Amino acid sequence: MQLDRIPFVLLFVVLGVVGCEPPPMTENGVVGVFGGTGLGEGEFSYPRAITAAADGSVYVVDKSARIQRFGVDGVFESGWQMPKKTAGKPIGLTVHKDGRIFVADTHYHRVLVYDATGQELARFGEEGMGDGQFQLPTDVAIDDDGFIYVGEYNGNDRITKWSADLTFVKQISPPEIAGLSMVRPAAMDFDNEQTLWVADACNHRIIRLSRKGEVMSVFGERGTEPGQLRYPYDITVTPEQTLLVCEYGNSRLQWFDKEGKSLGTWGGPGRDLGQLWSPWGATVGANGDVYVVDSLNSRVQIVRR
Amino acid sequence: MNLLGLLSIIGFEKPQWLWLSLLVPVLVAVSIRSLAGLDPTRRVLSLVLRSAVIIVLAACLAEVVRVRQNDDLTVLFLMDRSESVKGRTETQEEYIRAVCEDIPPNDRVGVIDFARGAYLEQLPMKGGYHLDPGRLPEMPNKDRTDIAAAVRLAMAMFPHDTGKRIVILSDGNDNMGDLITEARRAKADNVVVDVVPLMYQHLNEVYFDRMVAPTNAEDGEQVPIRMMLHSLRRTTGTLELYHNDAPVPLPPESSRVELAPGNNSFVFKLPVKGSGQHRFSAVFRPDDPSADTIIDNNRAETFSVISGKGRALLLSSDLAMDNALIEALREEKIDIDVMSAEGADLTLGLLMGYGCVILANVPANYYDDVQHANLVNYVRNLGGGLIMTGGNEGFGAGGWIGSPVEGIMPVDFEIKHKRILPRGALALIMHSCEIPRGNYWGKQVAKKSVDTISSRDFIGVLAWNWSPGGETWEVPLQLATNKTAIKARIDQMGIGDMPDFDPTMELALKGLRATDAAQKHVIMISDGDPSPPRRSVIQGFKDAKITVSTIGIGYGSHVMDQSLRDIAKATGGRFYACRNPRMLPKIFVKESKVVRRPLIIDEAFQPQLVFADSDLMPGMFQTGDIPPLGGLVLTSPKSDSRVQMPLVRSTKDGLDPVLAHWQEGLGKSVAFTSGYWTRWGQQWTRWPAFSKLWAQMVRWAMRQDPASDFDTYTKIEGDRGRIIVEALDKDASFLNGLVLQAHVVAPDGSAMPVQFMQTAPGEYEAEFPVDQTGQYIASVDVQQWSQDKGRHERLGFIDTGVSIPFSPEFRELTTNEALLRRVANITDGEVLAMDPQLDDVFSHDLPPTTARRQAWDWTVAWLLLPLFLLDVAARRLASWLAFSVFVEAVLIVFMLWGLDLIHSSLMGVIGVLVLAEIVGWSIRWRSLGPAVDALTHTVTALGHAGDRSSASLQHLKGTRARTQEEKTTPSARTSGGSQPEAPAPDTKARFDMSDQQANLPAGDLQENLGGAKTTPDTVDKRRKPASAKSDEKEDQDVTSRLLKAKRRARKDFDQDDE
């Protein structure tokens, strides 16, 4: 072959490739999407919470009160139905490091514990505002010592601490933080320093608490600019120890460092890939990809950054 | 895939563009000459590729589509929930759930239920039946069955790209639509309809076939009540008779009855006293309950209208307030009944018992839309009289603005003339998305509020907007002057899931504060799920004196009532725990009228008599006779010459109606905007003329006595009602040429005009559809042409009507299996056994459906462009080796990405690579022979490599020296020497060398690489002698010279080959 003709051959090949449509799954870092509106396996009816297990699987709960388990690539694996759903559907999911799944069964004022197959293992909490009671539980976080922390809202906006054997310990959240009571602590997560990060959704801010409930820092204000928040409905500490915040009001994800500096945003309102419509939750999978619950689009987008 | 297979998966939207393919022969003809320089193989290849490009281009312009065959199935289950299959809903649900147990993964299931109407309960979706057992919404209007409507809805819900099957679960007793026509339409659309007959056969049944009473009767007359009971078997029982819901004592021999199989007739005569409508009903109770299966058809009813002295009905909100008026009327011998306004069921039957109805300071929200319509029909179409009095709950202040009742009153409840009035301001906060059809209800009640308030009030609607997400004024706070535009905007609202109340409440507070309204109010509807507002926000409302009424709506325990209750309590509003959305309109009317308080003038004034000769008080008083009143509700007189307004309140802004009246349709109405007697009218109630004036008002408004010279009969024939009027004059002569007009008022409050035709001497008939259960009532206006007056003159009214005591559903004694079988036959469906083990509704035995998806973009990217590149390559890549590599690359790219085999298995990818190699090698086989020769040549030449290299080096040096010499003496080129000039080296190194050149031994790198010759002797060898003239021309055109040289070289090579 004559060497001086190689560039031309390559040029033709490049032209051929460039003339094609780009691969569909690379829009703004989206490497996968799954779900779709429906009640069949792998479909969603307004999904509202997501959590990732260490084995790579992710769990999603939607407004049909179904919890579905998916593989790392979004392939449906199994699912189960919550025992009751008439009064309302769960809005919080958390996987314990031992594989148990904690479900904030919001409108039944309790937390249900399942194994990975959907077998109910335990439940705790009852309606009320006292010790051991919940108004509307939102989310569960578990520290390295196995203590369980539950957030709740609707007139009783607080975080309570429970022992590993599911008995009430105490309320840890202070009545006021930076002059404001918490309003809808929608999500929580622990970092590697064992401090609790709380999404104080209706105050549009993020709160850092010690396990005793001491306020370590607060950041965020209502707004649409980077660094500002509107209804942060979920917060997850990434493996790099940054904070991944899912904003229901701004239909976007936003990353922060622990000092509250915005590291970037992703998404924005819309229906295309790479856009979100009133997302309720996001999590980081075992492979480092971000799984975001695109609620009104009834899908989960997998984002690689 | 063979060619036929390929053709079956593509199609064209605009096939006329395929005619462009006829350009191919033209292109071939032209190209044969232009491609003459190529060797025959390449020429043919290039022509084929160019032709393919043209054909593909034509296909793109013809909008090529991919036709996808799909054997997935969508099954829509239609569930009969009418009365005739009462109690079998759960059985149907269980069947659907069971039959969907093994649904194939890609098949979809949808569910529609039907009775009079059809409703979608589950969209077609994968995974089977998803509805919760027993949670289907209450089915409205179960008194009829319209299977055709359900089939129509199903046809609209099918996805276009799957097989379509409808499964009808029904008893087949369709009594409304045209199912057979709908089945034929389904067949035309390739929809298969399977049927599951819900089997029953009632062998023990007794039902009323009919019950008839004379439509008109005289006061004190014995009215014959005829009834016919149909029994399937001999049975005994008790017959009970009711007159105006009161039991009629019957002697035992009359009440104890023995029914023979077939029809059994009974006649009772009952004395009737008092004018108005008299309702009669009968109930049969079998001795043995098992002798009768359906009890709903054991009751029948009918009615007679008794002419005579009129009675009045006073609906009171506060008896103590209205006591003086009631006593005054009774003093004047007015026969008056008093009823609590709240909870009164304003049926037409009730209203028709009275000649006049008085709404004494009654708010609009006590009654629903049908009752409002009944009031309107009572006046406009049935000739009744209506008097509305004021007070804090009358007219506009009582929420009557926008009600149809406003249309029959002589005053408008809006203030039309220009005057400075305190305004009201109403903000609605809508969070109704958590209830079924939440957006629908949210919009309905918001529009109700718009209707209720005055056009001088402010209104705005707040909600959480889904897109882009946030609290917003869906309808900006504005004056309600253009209610149509505001309601249109409400229709466009998207009510989203609000996280917290604070932002919307803050917006409402800010907006309302900015208005100059005297009365500011907020209505908030929610399930209480959003986070409650802060204390500071609540305090803001309290400080601004803005009340917030809250409505908790949703399923039972889902509703967080407490936070809503707290908001209402803290701001001075009201809280409503509402679990039935149908109650919402009344609540919204009630709450919206809060801002109408400015319409109430709570100050004393002297009524002015401005029209003493009105029909209502002809010459009764002088202004000086009339005592002052303590207040009134502001209204505006209608701009209509029929309106008479004898009493007014005179101000600098104009005249406010105090007493106004007119005739509307067949009836009359009176507006007395004051009232509220213990507060505003104490001097009036002590006024001696008070009772006389009010008696005159009632008598004037009282409906006319029906004409008694006509005999009227009514009949029900199937789904038609018939009114027959026999008209005789006093001499018993037939009255011909009369004009009879009427509006029949249906049980739902709708009025339909009916046309009477004269069918015999003195006999007139009219027909109307009856498809509802209840009373159909009409007042027939009888008019006769008067020669003397030159116009039609009213002879009187005839009250008439028919009663449909129970739904025809309760007459169905057996399943109409024949109809269902016929539907299945028409559509090639099956009659299923209702056995989930046997019924296979998901069998994929339907012809596969096709879906057409546009493919021109794919065709351009993956066919047109590669073919074009291949065409270029075939002509320009001189080396078969290079061409084969290019073809390989294009094939690999096309198959891996164009056909998306990159995502197939590893074997698939390897298969693509192997295939590409086979194609590549099959192209470059031509190069193999010369290549082997070249290899041999190379080996042989290795021994002379040193010499050749030296010679080559010398040759290159010589060339370089000549070139430098030429550069230094440019004139040598331009002046034209005697030596023929060699062609300039082609630095662009075109790909037009032959295979022989390409495979020359490596000894002469310059020749092989460049393809053009640089030594004069080589050039000479290849060129033929040329004339001096042509040389001069070539000097002027180097390019054409080169081309000619190239062609000659090709020719030589071709000759060598031969």
Quote the pLDDT of residue B837.
86
- A131 φ, ψ (degrees, to nearest 5): -65, 135
Residues A155, B562: C-beta atoms closer than 8 Å: yes
| DSSP-based three-state secondary structure for B618 | coil
**Is A66 touching B (CB cutoff 8 A)?**
no
A249 vs B470, B881, B890: nearest CB: B470
Note the pLDDT tens digit of each residue in A195-204. 999 999 999 9
**Is B125 touching A (CB cutoff 8 A)?**
yes
Measure CA A299 to chain center: 14
Closest residue of chain B to A152, computed from CA coordinates:
B531
User: Which of the given ranges, A79-88, B297-306, B512-521, B1004-1013, has the highest pLDDT on average?
Assistant: B512-521
- Assess whether pLDDT exceeds 60 at residue B1013: no
Q: Which residues of chain B are within 8 Å of residue A2 when distances are taken between CB atoms?
A: 879, 882, 998, 1008-1009
* Other C-beta atoms lying within 10 Å of the C-beta of residue B29: 9
Quote the pLDDT of residue B423.
84
Quote the pLDDT of residue B26.
84
DSSP conformational letter for B864? I
DSSP string across B687-715: STTHHHHHHHHHHHHSPPPPPSSEEEEEE
Quote the pLDDT of residue B596.
72
Residues A249, B998: C-beta atoms closer than 8 Å: no
Distance between A249 CA and the closest CA of chain B, angstroms: 5
Please name which of A101, A99, A74, A77 lies closest in space to residue A90, comparing C-alpha atoms.
A101
Quote the pLDDT of residue A102.
97
- Assess whether pLDDT exceeds 50 at residue A2: no
DSSP conformational letter for A22? P
Q: Of chain A residues 89-128, which have a CB less than 8 A from chain B? A: 107
Measure CA A116 to chain center: 18
CA gap A111, A94 in Å, rounded: 11
Note the pLDDT tens digit of each residue in B873-927. 887 777 777 888 888 888 888 888 777 777 667 788 888 888 888 888 887 776 6
Quote the pLDDT of residue B417.
64
Which residue is listed with tokens 């014995």? B222
Least-confidence region, from A285-299, B502-516, B550-564, B943-957: B943-957
B555 vs A12, A86, A184: nearest CB: A86
Residues B893, A38: C-beta atoms closer than 8 Å: no
A202 vs B496, B531, B857: nearest CB: B531
The order of strands in the sheet holding B206-212 is B206-212, B222-231, B262-271
Reported confidence tier of residue B1000, pLDDT bands at 50, 70, 90: very low
Burial class (CB in 10 A: 0-12, 13-18, 19+), A263: middle
Quote the pLDDT of residue B210.
83
Residues B989, A4: C-beta atoms closer than 8 Å: yes
CA gap A111, A141 in Å, rounded: 12
Q: Which residues of chain A are within 8 Å of residue B998 when distances are taken between CB atoms?
A: 2
* Kind and range of the H or E run holding B718: none
The order of strands in the sheet holding A299-303 is A30-35, A299-303, A290-294, A281-284
Residues B469, A64: C-beta atoms closer than 8 Å: no
Looking at per-residue confidence, does A172 or B135 come out higher? A172
Buried b (16+ CB within 10 A) or exposed e, B562-589: ebbbbbbeebebbbbebeebeebbbbbb
Quote the pLDDT of residue B557.
59
Note the pLDDT tens digit of each residue in B447-459. 989 988 888 889 9
CA distances from B418 to B410, B424, B498, B652, B843 (A): 20, 16, 41, 11, 73
Measure CA B564 to chain center: 32
ipTM at complex level:
0.83
Quote the pLDDT of residue B462.
94
Residues A231 and A249: beta-carbon distance below 8 Å = yes
Residues B557, A202: C-beta atoms closer than 8 Å: no
Interface test with A, best of B464, B531, B856, B999 (most A CBs within 10 A): B531
**Is A18 touching B (CB cutoff 8 A)?**
no
- Assess whether pLDDT exceeds 80 at residue B69: no
Residues A64, B558: C-beta atoms closer than 8 Å: no
**Is B877 touching A (CB cutoff 8 A)?**
yes
Q: At B172, which amino acid appears?
A: G
- Assess whether pLDDT exceeds 50 at residue B981: no
Looking at per-residue confidence, does B960 or B611 come out higher? B611
| B949: CB partners within 8 A, 6+ apart | none
CA gap B150, B424 in Å, rounded: 46
* Other C-beta atoms lying within 10 Å of the C-beta of residue B277: 21
A12 vs B869, B894, B998: nearest CB: B869
Helix B865-876 and helix B880-893, axial crossing angle in degrees, nearest 10: 170
Distance between A183 CA and the closest CA of chain B, angstroms: 7
User: Which of the given ranges, A240-254, B130-144, B675-689, has the highest pLDDT on average?
Assistant: A240-254
Residues A190 and A143: beta-carbon distance below 8 Å = yes
- Assess whether pLDDT exceeds 70 at residue B1015: no
CA gap B400, B24 in Å, rounded: 78
* Other C-beta atoms lying within 10 Å of the C-beta of residue B45: 20
Residues B126, A17: C-beta atoms closer than 8 Å: no
**Is A281 touching B (CB cutoff 8 A)?**
no
CA gap A31, B866 in Å, rounded: 28
| DSSP-based three-state secondary structure for B591 | helix
Reported confidence tier of residue B305, pLDDT bands at 50, 70, 90: confident
CA gap B436, B554 in Å, rounded: 8
Quote the pLDDT of residue B631.
94
- Assess whether pLDDT exceeds 80 at residue B233: yes
**Is B507 touching A (CB cutoff 8 A)?**
no
Q: Average pLDDT for residues B679-703, to the nearest whole number?
A: 90
**Is A4 touching B (CB cutoff 8 A)?**
yes
Residues A184, B500: C-beta atoms closer than 8 Å: yes
Q: Which residues of chain A are within 8 Å of residue B873 when distances are taken between CB atoms?
A: 12
Note the pLDDT tens digit of each residue in A111-159. 999 999 999 999 999 999 999 999 999 999 999 999 999 999 988 899 9
Quote the pLDDT of residue B1011.
38
Distance between B498 CA and the closest CA of chain A, angstroms: 10
Looking at per-residue confidence, does B1011 or B579 come out higher? B579
Residues A20, B562: C-beta atoms closer than 8 Å: no
Distance between B476 CA and the closest CA of chain A, angstroms: 21
Distance between B874 CA and the closest CA of chain A, angstroms: 12
Q: Average pLDDT for residues B414-421, to the nearest whole number?
A: 70
Closest residue of chain B to A84, computed from CA coordinates:
B132
* Other C-beta atoms lying within 10 Å of the C-beta of residue B814: 13
B861 vs A4, A20, A43: nearest CB: A20
Q: Which residues of chain A are within 8 Å of residue B468 when distances are taken between CB atoms?
A: 251, 269
Q: Average pLDDT for residues B92-112, to the nearest whole number?
A: 91
Q: Which residues of chain A are within 8 Å of residue B879 when distances are taken between CB atoms?
A: 1-2, 5
A154 vs B467, B531, B998: nearest CB: B531
Rounded to two decimals, the pTM is: 0.64
| A194: CB partners within 8 A, 6+ apart | A143, A144, A211
B467 vs A20, A85, A269: nearest CB: A269
**Is A269 touching B (CB cutoff 8 A)?**
yes
Quote the pLDDT of residue B963.
54
DSSP string across A184-250: -EEEEEE-TT--EEEEEGGGTEEEEE-TT--EEEEE--BSSSTT-BS-EEEEEE-TTS-EEEEETTT
Mean pLDDT of chain B: 82
Residues B882, A5: C-beta atoms closer than 8 Å: yes
Least-confidence region, from A287-291, B49-53, B731-735, B820-824: B731-735
Residues A250 and A278: beta-carbon distance below 8 Å = no
Distance between A77 CA and the closest CA of chain B, angstroms: 14
Q: Average pLDDT for residues B792-811, to the nearest whole number?
A: 84
Least-confidence region, from A145-149, B7-11, B356-360: B7-11
* Kind and range of the H or E run holding B342: none
Q: Which residues of chain B are within 8 Å of residue A233 when distances are taken between CB atoms?
A: 499
Residues B866, A16: C-beta atoms closer than 8 Å: yes
Residues A16, B890: C-beta atoms closer than 8 Å: yes
**Is B558 touching A (CB cutoff 8 A)?**
yes
| B1027: CB partners within 8 A, 6+ apart | none
- Assess whether pLDDT exceeds 60 at residue B1055: no
Q: Which residues of chain A are within 8 Å of residue B861 when distances are taken between CB atoms?
A: 19-21
Distance between B523 CA and the closest CA of chain A, angstroms: 20
Q: Average pLDDT for residues B575-588, to the nearest whole number?
A: 84
Distance between A78 CA and the closest CA of chain B, angstroms: 13
**Is A28 touching B (CB cutoff 8 A)?**
no
Reported confidence tier of residue B790, pLDDT bands at 50, 70, 90: confident
Quote the pLDDT of residue A3.
42
DSSP conformational letter for B26? H
Residues A171 and A218: beta-carbon distance below 8 Å = no
CA gap B1044, B1050 in Å, rounded: 10
- Assess whether pLDDT exceeds 90 at residue B16: no
CA gap B765, B783 in Å, rounded: 15
**Is A15 touching B (CB cutoff 8 A)?**
yes
Please name which of B108, B140, B103 lies closest in space to residue B123, comparing C-alpha atoms.
B108
Percentage of residues of chain B with pLDDT beyond 90 = 33
Q: Which residues of chain B are within 8 Å of residue A86 when distances are taken between CB atoms?
A: 132, 135, 555-558
Partners of B997 in beta bridges: none
Quote the pLDDT of residue A27.
54
Interface test with B, best of A2, A86, A200 (most B CBs within 10 A): A2
The sign of the torsion formed by the CA atoms of A9, A12, A13, A14 equals positive
